[in-house]
Structure 1
Amino acid sequence: MGTSTGSRFERRGIDLVPENERYGRPRDLMFLWAGTTMTVFTVVYGAFVIALGLSFPQAVVAIVLGNLLAYPLLGLASVQGPATGTTTLTISRASYGPEGGRVLGVFAWLTLVGFEAGGLILVVFAALTLLERAGVAGTPGVQVAAVVVLAGVQLLLPLFGHAVMMRAQKYFTAIFTVAFAVMAVLVLPKVDFAAATGAEGAPVSMVIVAVALVMASGGLSWAPAGSNFSRYLPRATSRRAVAAYAAVGGFVPYVLLQVLGAATASITLDVSDPISGLPGVLPAWFVVPYLVLAMVSLLVQNSTNLYSSGLNLQTAGIRVSRIGMIVVDTVLCAVITYIAVVGKSFYDMLNAFLGLLVIWLAPWVAIYLTDWLMRRGRYDLDSLSGGRRPGYRLPGLVAQALGMVVAALWLHSSTYTGPLASWTGGADLSIPAGMAVAAVTYWLLARHEPAISRSSR
């Protein structure tokens, strides 16, 4: 069950990485997360913020604040990897028990499958647009072929595994940086910043909704994958370096590209459609390079999702190899993509997905980090791998349930508004409320448990 090399597939799943197979440096995480988050999806999220009715200054505040709150969560959720040598959701068993952790593994798996499908849908739309420009009509047969071929392409990087992905992301980060810089140079001169800045704007409650959207689309949703990539670092690796490099790697591209998306939305709100809308503000000569950039960047992002989602499904107790999990995910992702491509329902699905996903994520990350602090980073590795103390831990499960109830009551999304959100004028406080209730509940219930008490000495 060794690590991957450039010539063979990685077969390791959620089993512990032995010290003699550790490698890399914390700064490698910066390139991983920069390459993963540098996609047209990130530009779209910035446009969504403007579509909520915010002025450009309000959008910038929401983007910066949302990412400042979210990406430290990814950084902190990456710290446990070197100490344990295993994945984030496996470490999370310390809070819920091996059996209880299966439920969270399913939630995390479904989350990443949703992001994978969203990315592949846009990749297929871009490919069909390129084919139409070349004179090939998007018939049902062409659509099926595009889905199958592109799903197979996105399968490759996660199959080769951690070592190849970490190496490839350094090159992709450099390429994407140049490409998006060119795009910014082409688009920003067309933006009337005076008009965008002078717009009336939205009430504070809608700015809070935008902050929640930014958090859900970025650092918060990536947190369950944090230690999946840091687990190969040597045990003695600096915790501060791990947290800082992971957080900065995601934070910088997200802020820059989301601000670009918000600025571009002042030209046309069709920027929320990155395939048929956004190219309308680009010079004709750059449309084809842009569509290729969209496809490649989204396929790279999906490779990170696919790598982690298979690991999450193993945490859920499904006894299939990591490679088998990736294949299963790819097939499911392809089916969802075909349904969305035929039904033209992508944006409704994306809005609903982003809104509901915080219900489980906010309580989970609060419990995960509270448990880490309470035990001062010391874990019983046999227990994490299911070797001892199987079953459930009520503190984690009770705190998760209460946190999810509170988050749902305070959620304000395109498909659902909770009663507490309505009571506060439409403000979406689902993330801070869900986190606070889950963290306090877990601390109250777990602080006298023997395992926590011994770890805290």
Structure 2
Amino acid sequence: MTTDPVRTAAADPAPARLIETNGIDIIAESERTARPRDLFWPWFAANVSVFGMSYAAFVYGFGVSFAQAAVVAVVGIVISFALCGVIATAGKRGSVPTMVLSRAAFGVHGQKVPGIVSWLLSIGWETFLAIMAVLATSTVFEILGWGGGVGVQIGATIAVAALIVAASVLGYHTIMRLQSVLTWLTGAVTIVYILVTLGHIDAAAVGAVPAGSVGNVVGALTMVMTGFGLGWINIAADWSRYQKRTASNGAIIAWNTIGGSVAPVVLVVYGLLLAGSDAALSDAIASDPVGALAALLPPWLLIPFWLTALLALVSGAVLGIYSSGLTLLSLGIAIPRPAAAAIDGVILTAGTIFVVFVAGDFLGPFQSFLITLGVPMAAWAGILIADILLRGRDYDETALFDPAGRYGAFDWVSIGTMVVATVIGWGLVINQFAADAAWNNWQGYLLEPLGLGARSVVDGVESWDGTWPWANLGVLFALLFGFVVTLLARRGTVRWQEGRA
């Protein structure tokens, strides 16, 4: 069973199995053979998706110019994946998944609070990627004249779900090999896509996009950070727990950052050129992000583009569902890791079917969902990053599974910090998709009292006046608040836990 925490260096000395048997248990020293540069492959393959180009339209939606958007893309993507890299170093120092390592900061049982949020976020991400893969398939088939109706969508849903679940059930070693192959394939076709679509760029139109205010830039920056690195931060250590114990922390951070950032930076900046050149393309991205980009291609490139986009989206979803299965185990569900991945696969399939065949526009509700969960996850990330920086020694791995051990059952300082940061953070973000996700219109309750905006309701739909309501300040606040409070309030606790009091 994967819930058995203790594995000795002598355990499982055999070569990697077809199906990974490790769950949230401690990785044996004999299995820790990965090198920092190995981290490049999963992060690059998961983020080289052409969906990165679609983010350009979302960035422009904040009312910024090309130059502002380009700076936001570079800064937001690199910083957010660097934060993932910091958390990835904990995987090397603790030999267990991210959400188990987080028990050192929250307590063995207290970790269930951020764990539930993390599980929901991972499920949401992987379902979103599966939905885009299905919609992209339908659009490309329709462009080719093969029909993109219900039959194609059903077939695509089954195929996409099967690929994602199969890879995640097989586990770490299979995923790492798969990602290294996908990196070359998706990278090559993406370069071809850029070369073929260069003629669609209108430099004059791009240069004419008006600049926005500081609030517009901050809003775009927050969205980029949340959509890229912060969207993966809750699983960052899952892929570094197989690293050699002698691996350099700096190298782990560097390869995590390079692998996650290099493709999105290029894709988003190029997408800014495309979206800034064509307002109709920018609008089309809202309903079918990948399919809209396919419409720019000649027929001979559609099949390679579709396959590449499909595999890249599946690649990202595989990382998500693998880690969401680990998170499910960390919550106390006593089942083998492959079974946990399969359960999440069923949920992913059900969510994909609902959105594709029942719901209407999915982008608005998803963005609203992302910001809502992004606030508590940002608070958790700030707490965990500070906790990692405070530690001078490796984790007591067995104590991560013992409520009576040095990390305790509950750390009320961390739990309280996360709750306070979330409550304040939700008051500083708004539901930017009020018409599509009215269930989230309760947010932003601190903006008017602080003089940062004014709420109004027109024809039953909420709207906001002012720049700052759209800046999503609550995400950045939660991240910084969690970080600073932990640095100040838990320094003594960490020293005591490490026997350095």
1:281-337: CA deviation from partner (whole Å, max 9, x where unpaired): 222332232222211110111111111110011111122211111111111111111
SS at match of 1:155: helix
1:104-119 mapped onto 2 (5 Å cutoff): 104-119=114-129
Partner of 1:265: 275
Are 1:418 and 2:444 an aligned pair? Answer: yes
One-letter amino acid of the counterpart of residue 33, structure 1: W
2:234 is the counterpart of 1:250: no
1:346 equivalent in alignment to 2:362: yes
Matching residue within 479, 489, 496 for 1:445: 489
Q: CA deviation at 1:144?
A: 3.5
CA contact (8 A) 1:374 1:452 kept: no
Where does structure 2 lack aligned partners over 5 or more consecutive residues? 3-11, 434-440, 453-466
Q: Does the 8 Å CA contact 1:35/1:176 hold for their aligned counterparts?
A: yes
Greater shift in the superposed pair: 12-21 or 131-140: 131-140
Q: Matched residue of 1:281: which SS?
A: coil
**Counterpart secondary structure, 2:110:** helix
Question: What residue is the counterpart of 1:428 in the other structure?
Answer: 472
Deviations 1:209-265 (A, max 9, x none): 110000001111211111101100111111111111011111111111111222111
Looking at structure 2, the residues matched to 260 and 46 of structure 1 have their Cα atoms a distance apart, in angstroms, of 8
Partner of residue 322 from structure 2, selected from 303, 307, 311 = 307
TM-score, normalised by the number of residues in structure 2: 0.86
**Greater CA deviation, 137-146 or 89-98?**
137-146
1:101 partnered with 2:107: no
Name the aligned partner's letter for residue 96 of structure 2.
T
User: What does 1:152-231 align with in structure 2 at a 5 Å threshold?
Assistant: 152-231=162-241
Instruction: Give percent identity, aligned residues only.
Output: 28
Alignment of 1:24-63 (within 5 A): 24-63=34-73
Structure 2 residue 425 is the aligned partner of structure 1 residue 399 = no
Alpha-carbon distance, 1:440 to partner = 2.9
Q: Distance in 1 between matches of 2:169 and 2:129?
A: 18
In 1: Cα distance, 2:192 partner to 2:150 partner: 35
Q: 1:334 aligns with which of 342, 349, 359?
A: 349
Q: Secondary structure in 1 aligned to 2:33?
A: coil
Give distance in 2, aligned partners of 1:4 and 1:209.
50
Tell me the CA shift for residue 5 of structure 1. Answer: 6.1
My pick for the range that moved more, 290-299 or 276-285, is: 276-285
The residue aligned with 1:373 is 389
Name the SS for the 2:42 alignment partner: helix
Q: Give the Å deviation of 1:131.
A: 4.4
Residue identity in the other structure for 1:418: G
Q: Distance in 2 between matches of 1:256 and 1:132?
A: 29
Q: Please give the alpha-carbon distance, in whole angstroms, between the structure 1 residues aligned to 2:499 and 2:429.
A: 36
- Deviation at 1:434? 1.0
- 8 Å CA contact 1:112–1:309 kept in 2: the answer is yes
Alpha-carbon distance in structure 2 between the residues aligned to 1:445 and 1:398: 11
TM-superposed CA distance for 1:377, in Å, is 4.2
Supply the distance in 1 between the matched residues of 2:306 and 2:92 (Cα, whole angstroms).
38
Q: Is the 8 A contact 2:429 2:472 kept in 1?
A: yes
**Which protein is richer in helix relative to its size?**
1
Give the corresponding residue for 1:282: 297
Aligned residues of 1:363 and 1:404 also touching (Cα < 8 A): yes
Structure 1 residues 200 and 133: alpha-carbon distance in aligned structure 2, compared to 1, 3 A threshold: closer
Q: Which amino acid aligns with 1:247?
A: T
Aligned residue pairs, count: 457
Q: Which residue of 2 aligns with 1:128?
A: 138
CA contact (8 A) 2:387 2:494 kept: no
Unaligned 5+ segments in structure 1 are none
